[in-house]
Amino acid sequence: MKRFDYIRPVSVDDAVAAFRPGAAYLGGGTNLLDLMKIGVIQPDTLIDLGRIAELGPIEMLPGGGARVGALVRNSDLAYDRAFAAAFPMVAEAILAGASGQLRNAATVGGNLMQKTRCAYFQDPHSACNRREPGSGCAARGGDNANLAVLGWSDACIATNPSDMCVPLAALGAVVEVQGPAGKRDIPIADFHQLPGDQPETETALQPGELVIAIRLPTEAADFARNARYLKVRERTSFAFALVSVAAALKLDGQKIIAARIALGAVAAKPWRVTAAEDLLVGQAPTEEAFARAADALLEGARASGDNGYKIELARRAVIRALQMSAAGTPKRMPALPASPFGDVAEEHSHV
C-alpha cells in the first residue's frame, strides 16, 4: 500500500478545507480501504470523517420526510424503528447487502460513493477507462455476464453495486453536499453518472465536495404500506445483485394512484423511468399492468456482452417486486430480506 498522510478533522468545514488534489475522504472504509490495499486507489492523503458529530444524526422531519447524516452506519439506519416504518424498502435493501459485520461499519455516505465491482476495475493490470482514462475496457471482451444492459457505452459497461441507492432513487432522495464553494443539493437521479465517453466521472460531485446527508422528501413516506425491495443474486447472503428492484405503490382500494420503481445492478446508476410508473396510475394491480410497466422500464436495454439474460431476469423481477408490494409491506422484516424466496402471502401491515 502506498504511504499517505492522515488527517482527522472535527467539523465539515475543517474536512473540506483540508482537501487537496489526491486526497480522499474516509467514512467506514469498507470499500475504500480494500481498493487501497490492492492498488486501485492510491490517495496522497486520507481525511478521516469519524470524529465529525454533525454527520451522525438520523432526523425524522415534520410532515414525514427524513434527513440522514452521511456517517450513520447502515445497520443503525436499517434498525431505526421510525425510519424503517416510514421507508421500509430502504431498510430491506440495507439488510440485503453485505454482512452484519460490514453493515455495522459501512456508512450511508460511503454507500453512495461505492465503486463498481467490475473485476477489471479492481485489477490494476487490466485495461479500464473508469480507473485509467483512455486505457480501454477489458470487460467488453472478457467476463461480462453480470455487467450493464442499460445506459452503457463502448467506453464502460460497469454497474453500480449499491442496494441502498436503488430505493433511494425510487423515492426521489436528495443528496446534500458541501465543498469549497459551499453547500448544495443534488437529486439522487443526477448524482451517479452514466459512462458516456468519460466513465472516470462517476458522480456529480465537484473536486473537494463531501456528501454530508441524504434527505427523503415528505411524499416518500406515503408509500410505506406497499413497498418492497427484491434482490436476485447467486447466493442468499453476502453477494451483489444480478438484478434488484425497489417497488412501491400507493393504492386506493383496487386502484393504483401512484407508483415508484427503480432497478439496480443493470447500469452505472440506479435506473428509474417515471414514464413506466405513470403507466400504472389508474390501473388495477394486475400482472398484465406490471408487465407493461416492466417493459417500459427496460426500453432500450441491450446486452453489452454475455449478459442478455439480465434483460428478461430484470423484467420478471420487476413484475415480482410489484406483486410483492401490492400484497403489502410485511409487519416484520422477512427472515431473508429482499429474497425472491420470500412468501408474498405472509401477514402484511396495513396500518
DSSP E strands: which ranges in 11-89?
A: 23-26, 45-48, 58-60, 66-69
Q: Kindly indicate the confidence band of residue 291, based on its pLDDT and cuts at 50, 70 and 90.
A: very high
Q: Which CATH class is domain 224-327?
A: alpha beta
pLDDT in tens, 74-106: 999 999 999 999 999 999 999 999 999 999 999
Q: Which CATH number fits domain 53-113+160-219: 3.30.420.480, 3.30.1950.10, 3.40.50.1220, 3.30.465.10?
A: 3.30.465.10
Q: Do the Cβ atoms of 166 and 281 come closer than 8 Å?
A: no
Give the Cα separation of 65 and 221 in Å (integer): 7
The pLDDT of residue 350: 35
Please give the model's pTM, rounded to 2 decimal places. 0.96
Residue 91: alpha-carbon gap to chain centroid? 12
Cα torsion for 91, 8, 179, 31, to the nearest 10°? -40
Give the Cα separation of 118 and 91 in Å (integer): 25
pLDDT in tens, 108-147: 999 999 999 999 999 999 999 999 999 999 999 999 999 9
**When comparing pLDDT for 340 and 212, which is higher?**
212
In the chain, ranges of CATH 3.30.465.10 domains: 53-113+160-219
- The C-alpha angle 142, 240, 126, rounded to 5 degrees, equals 30
In the chain, ranges of CATH 3.30.390.50 domains: 224-327
Q: Do the Cβ atoms of 251 and 326 come closer than 8 Å?
A: yes
Q: What is the DSSP letter of 320?
A: H
Paired sense of beta strands 5-7 and 45-48, if any: parallel
Give the Cα separation of 230 and 327 in Å (integer): 14
**Confidence check: pLDDT of 2 > 50:** yes
**Confidence check: pLDDT of 239 > 50:** yes
3 state DSSP class of 185? strand
DSSP letter string, 199-253: TT--BSPPTT-EEEEEEE-GGGGGGTTSEEEEEE-SSSSS---SEEEEEEEEEET
